[in-house]
Structures are given as C-alpha cells and as structure tokens.
Amino acid sequence: MNNYIKQISFNSVVPPSTASHLLAFRQLKSYILHKGMKNHIKFYMNLYGTNTPDPQIITQILGQSINIAAFSSYVWNMPKLIEICNSIKKEKPEILIVLGGPYASFMADTLISNSGIDLIIKGSGEETFYRVVKKIAEDSQNWYDIPNVVYKEGSKIITTPIHYDFDVSKQLYDLCVEDGDSSYFWYETSRGCPFKCRYCSWNSEQKRQIKYYPYEKIEKDLKAIFNLKYVKHLEFCDSDIFLKKNHGIQILQYIHQFNEERRKRNWPEINIYFETNPEFIDEEAIHEISKLPVGQTTISCGLQTINEHVNNYHLNRNFHKDKYIHNLKRLCEGVKQNVSIEIIYGLPGDTYESFKQTVNFLVSEIKFKRFVSAHFLVLPGSYFWDHYEDFNLIFSKKSPHRLISSNTFSEEEISKAKRLTFFMYLFNTILFGIKRAVTRQAKSDYMTVYDKIINHIELNYPQFISELYCFYEKNEDIETILKLLQYTANKNLINLRYDIINEARQIIKNYLLKQETTI
Ligand SMILES: C[S@@+](CC[C@H](N)C(=O)[O-])C[C@H]1O[C@@H](n2cnc3c(N)ncnc32)[C@H](O)[C@@H]1O
Ligand code: SF4
C-alpha cells in the first residue's frame, strides 16, 4: 500500500429538518479506521440539506482535493444526487464517484448507465467500501474481485457476485461520533427487519433478517453520543426497537442513565425518536418510554390503514386490529411524549373511503400529538415495485415514484386524499382550535363536520389556503412551516386564524342544532 494519503469526501444530502451526517458514513468511516487505515486516508464529511442549491454543493466538493466522492442514495435525495454526480464527473473525471444506500442497491443498472457515477455498492457497505478504498490506496481500479459492486467497463456494466456476509452482531469497534456539531444524531442498534410488508424495501436484499449489535458496543457508542454536549436529538434507525421487548427496554435504560448524567452536568437531555409497532409493547415498555424526556421525544407508530383486510391481505402486515388499537390507546394515555401515527394514502387495496375511515379513526379515537400521512411510493426493491401490473399501479418514473393511480384509487381520489391530509395537518397545528372543538362536540360525525369546515375555508379563504398548499405541493417540510406559523407574531395572520376557528365553531354548532331538530 502506498504511504501517501488518499482523500475521501462523504456527502450527506438530507432533509433540512433532520440535518445531520448520515449514519451510513459514520459506519463506513468507523469500519475503515477499525481496519487499520487511519494513516492512509483523510476524510471530509460534507453536510447539505435537500434544499441546498446544487452549485453550492458541487463547488464545495470540487474545492476539496479528493480521490473519492461518496454519496448515499434514498428516494428523497434522488435525482438531486445524479445532477451533482454528473457535474463533478464533468469537471474532474479523475474523482471516483461512489454511490451506496438503499436506492442505489435496487436501481444500480439504471443509475450507472446514464450518469457520472463510477461505482455502485449494493447492500450493507462497510466491507465492500473498505475494499474499494484499499484498492484506491494501492492505486488500483480493478473492481472485479470485490463482491456487491456494479461498475462500468467501456460500454459494459459489470455486476460482481453478491455476498451478504456483513454481520453487525459481531462488530465490536466503536462508532466515530465526532465530525460536525449538528444537534441531530442517527444511530442503529440492529439492522434489518424480519417482516415482508409489500410497500417497504427495508433490507429486502438481505433475506429479511434482523441482526442486533452487541450490547457492549451499543452501550459504549451511546455513552459517547451522550457525551457530546451539542447533541439534542437522537434518532434510532432500527426498523423497530421493541421487536424484542427486552432489547427495547435495555436501550431505553441506557438512555435514562446517560440522560441522568447529562442532567447532573446541567446539560439539556437528549430527545429520542424511534419506530415501534404498538402490538409489541406492554405496560413495562410504556413505563420505560414515559421516563424519556418529554420535550420533542417522538414514538412513531406505523398504522398505514385501519382496514384490517388491506393491512393483512394486500400489504402482508401481521395486523391484529383490536390488539393494535388497545395498545396504541394505552401508549397515548400512558406517556406525555409525542406519539406520532404514520398512515399512507393510495395503498393497493385501499380506497379513498377507507382512507377517510383511517383519518376518522385517528381523529375520533386516538389522542395522538402528531401524524404523518404519506403519499404511497412504489419503492424500488419492494413487492409492489416488482408486481405493479397486478394492481394497475401507475406511478411516476422519477424518484420518489409517487403513485398516480391504481385499480382502487383514481388520480382524482389521490388529489382528494392529499387535500384532506393537508387540512388535517392544519387542524393539528395552526388551526388546532378546530380539532379541539370537533373532538369535544362532534360526537361521532367527525368527518362530516370536518368536510363542512374544509369546504367553508376553501370557499372563504382561497388565498390563505393556496399559499400554504403551494408549500405543501413543493414537498417542503410542511410540519415545520406550520409550527413556525403557529407561533407567529404577525397580527394579520393571528386574526385570520381566530376568524377561521370561530367560524368553524359556528359551523359545528349549526350542524349539531340541525341534527337535534332532525331527531
Ligand atoms: C420506514 S417505515 C418503518 C416503519 C415500521 N417498521 C413499521 O412497520 O411501521 C416508516 C414509515 O414510512 C412510511 N412508508 C414506508 N414505505 C412507504 C411507501 N412505500 N410509501 C409511503 N410511505 C411509506 C410508512 O408510513 C412507515 O410507517
Ligand atoms: S414496514 Fe416496518 S415492519 Fe414492515 S418490512 Fe418495513 S420495516 Fe419491516
């Protein structure tokens, strides 16, 4: 191996609300250092928002004298990455452009054939990327003996054999926690998922297994993260930390212990974000969750749809409606932290009516603090991607592959579901007074009342609605924007909100009066 130093830039392009280096790059860097390459490699960690202009990103990357520019691809940062990779290749063809991440794993041939990307790594990248870096350090670009890569040789695209032998359960080296001063940090205590939900592409190339890191390592890593004063949010990227209940409890106990140490130092506690299926949690788990910081800690629960048949039959979820609802209610009642419910509109098998029933269930039965209603994406690597014809799925060819229509959702119904989602976000943030009034008074006709209020607002406040809807359409972070507006000092906006809320209260009153007289 040559002694002189090679330079790598890791380029995280992430949503601005979660601005932090991707966990993937910390993992890769930690592994390369663990393999003894400390004296051969210099790393740059570049952090960009998905809203950072491309020229700014390109200029910064080109300004570093690097040998490798590495990117991690997801549905939400493509095709921005393609543009950046193409520009870098054009300006400095000698830089090796490497792409990893879930999107690249499933779209390797398409991505590499028409772009400036030189090499794509499929699946878990640690060992593969280390071998690539080793070759570069030896001034070689022969990739044929490295498994799990796709590369170009003249006009040919070569894919080397796939060996998924990277086992996180045996990794004991520490995670590099330095780099940057972002208040947001991502971490994982396990990798993979044993389930096969048809809309999801989570590690599907790895035979749907889950492997856990050793506790010895998790405890050390978490301690190091909690020792960074500037970290305020820690997001767990595990598919479900409570898949094994005792695992989830152990992780939360580490967090309680390290947050206690922060309190003693007069440092702010770290807020936690994780995913869990309510069916996996019980009173003991709820008790541990309730001890987490109350600030912005968020427990996300994927419901997708309240329709049991769609969940089990079309989506291949193992959904027990009664147990799910019972546990979700217990969670919402038992903790002061944010419980966020995730649903999807446009799911195969689901209809606009059953989407409305899902929304109705949330607003009428669940005391949730947040909810996310996502447009169905036909994700590369998912069952629906492979079987789109069976469900008549028409979707955008461009990432993130949003559904346009299907045999149960027309294009018009998708627009209606999107519009309803937008209004529900408004009722959960800047027009919260309306949600409170409907919940208190509407008894059971929640959606009928909401429909009336939505029609009224659309008719009487078209400018206000169209401006906000424009943000939403552009796919900006609508929740952040609405939260900012919620605490606005702008008198006009405050008055406008009061007017809308008061008029909505009147609509509810009139509706109830009419009901009574009909009876
Ligand atoms: C990454 S998933 C993990 C969820 C968790 N393991 C579970 O089973 O609910 C997080 C959320 O992303 C959303 N999601 C996943 N696949 C999606 C797709 N194809 N289209 C839209 N949203 C999707 C779902 O609402 C899901 O709850
Ligand atoms: S949705 Fe969740 S449970 Fe289902 S496969 Fe994806 S990660 Fe696993």
Residue that the structure tokens 């830089």 belong to: 95
pTM: 0.95
Residue closest by Cα to atom 6 of ligand 1: 239
Residue 372 lies in a domain: yes
Instruction: Using the predicted structure, report yes or no on whether residue 205 has a pLDDT greater than 70.
Output: no
Looking at per-residue pLDDT, the higher value among 20 and 308 belongs to: 308
Q: Which atom of ligand 1 is nearest to the CA of 372?
A: 25
**pLDDT tier at 516 (50, 70, 90 boundaries)?**
confident
Q: Which ligand is nearest to the CA of 300?
A: 1
Q: Which atom of ligand 2 is nearest to the CA of 304?
A: 1
Sheet holding 370-375, edge to edge: 184-187, 233-236, 271-275, 298-304, 338-345, 370-375
Asked if 371 contacts 428 with a C-beta cutoff of 8 angstroms, the reply is yes
Share of the chain above pLDDT 90, in %: 77
* Count: domains in the chain: 3
Residue 423 lies in a domain: yes
Whether cis (ω within 30° of 0) applies to the bond prior to 194 is no
Between vectors from CA 375 to CA 373 and to CA 380, what angle results, nearest 5°? Answer: 130
What pairs with residue 41 in β-bridges?
6
**pLDDT tier at 2 (50, 70, 90 boundaries)?**
very low
What does the alpha-carbon distance between residue 217 and residue 199 come to, in Å, rounded to a whole number? Answer: 32
| 353 plus 265 within the same structural domain | yes
Residue 1 lies in a domain: no
Asked if 400 contacts 374 with a C-beta cutoff of 8 angstroms, the reply is no
Q: Show the tokens assigned to 362.
A: 């949330």
| 373 plus 463 within the same structural domain | no
Residues in the chain: 519
The DSSP code for 213 is: P
pLDDT (0 to 100) of residue 46 = 93
pLDDT, mean of residues 11-26: 85
Element housing 453 (H / E): helix 446-460
Is 501 near ligand 2, meaning CB less than 6 Å away?
Answer: no
Instruction: Using the predicted structure, report yes or no on whether residue 278 has a pLDDT greater than 80.
Output: yes
| 426 plus 505 within the same structural domain | yes
| 88 plus 220 within the same structural domain | no
pLDDT, one tens digit per residue, over 99-122 is 999 999 999 999 999 899 999 999
Q: Give the number of other Cβ atoms within 10 Å of residue 342's Cβ.
A: 15
Residue type, 236: F
Q: Which ligand is nearest to the CA of 75?
A: 1
pLDDT (0 to 100) of residue 470 = 87
Q: How far is CA 187 from CA 17, 238, 470, in A?
A: 17, 8, 34
User: Going along 15-136, which residue ranges are E strands?
Assistant: 41-49, 68-72, 96-100, 119-121
Asked if 414 contacts 404 with a C-beta cutoff of 8 angstroms, the reply is yes
Residue that the structure tokens 């994700």 belong to: 379
| 253 plus 171 within the same structural domain | yes
| 344 plus 356 within the same structural domain | yes
Of 254, 252, 258, residue with least CA distance to 289: 252
| 57 plus 112 within the same structural domain | yes
Q: Show the tokens assigned to 269.
A: 């506690």
Mode of pairing for the β-strands spanning 6-14 and 41-49: parallel
- Report the mean per-residue pLDDT for the chain: 92
Domain-terminating residue out of 137, 159, 181: 159
Q: Show the tokens assigned to 192.
A: 């993979």
What does the alpha-carbon distance between residue 150 and residue 84 come to, in Å, rounded to a whole number? Answer: 19
Domain-terminating residue out of 376, 409, 442: 409
Asked if 348 contacts 309 with a C-beta cutoff of 8 angstroms, the reply is no
pLDDT, mean of residues 375-385: 96
Residue 314 lies in a domain: yes
| 191 plus 316 within the same structural domain | yes
Is 374 near ligand 1, meaning CB less than 6 Å away?
Answer: yes
Residue type, 58: I
| 177 plus 134 within the same structural domain | no
| CATH number of the domain that residue 120 is part of | 3.40.50.2300
The number of CA neighbours under 13 Å toward the Cβ of 80 is 24
Domain-terminating residue out of 108, 133, 159: 159
Share of the chain above pLDDT 70, in %: 97
Q: Which atom of ligand 1 is nearest to the CA of 375?
A: 21
| CATH number of the domain that residue 251 is part of | 3.80.30.20
Lowest-confidence region among 110-114, 250-254, 368-372, 411-415: 368-372
Return the biggest CA–CA distance within the chain: 88
pLDDT, one tens digit per residue, over 52-67 is 999 999 999 999 999 9
Q: Which parts of 227-320 fold into alpha helices (H)? A: 245-264, 283-290, 308-309
pLDDT, one tens digit per residue, over 430-463 is 899 999 999 888 777 889 999 999 999 999 999 9
| 149 plus 214 within the same structural domain | no
| 431 plus 374 within the same structural domain | no
Residues 6+ apart with CB under 8 A from 420: 355, 356, 359, 454
pLDDT, mean of residues 334-355: 96
Phi/psi of residue 487, nearest 5 degrees: -105, 25
What does the alpha-carbon distance between residue 361 and residue 342 come to, in Å, rounded to a whole number? Answer: 13
Domain of residue 83 covers 6-159
Phi/psi of residue 216, nearest 5 degrees: -55, -45
Residue 504 lies in a domain: yes
| 140 plus 186 within the same structural domain | no
Q: Give the number of other Cβ atoms within 10 Å of residue 330's Cβ.
A: 16
Mode of pairing for the β-strands spanning 149-153 and 119-121: antiparallel
CA 318 to ligand 2 center in whole angstroms = 10
What does the alpha-carbon distance between residue 82 and residue 113 come to, in Å, rounded to a whole number? Answer: 12
Residue closest by Cα to atom 6 of ligand 2: 200
Residue type, 139: D
Instruction: Using the predicted structure, report yes or no on whether residue 204 has a pLDDT greater than 70.
Output: no
Is 200 near ligand 2, meaning CB less than 6 Å away?
Answer: yes
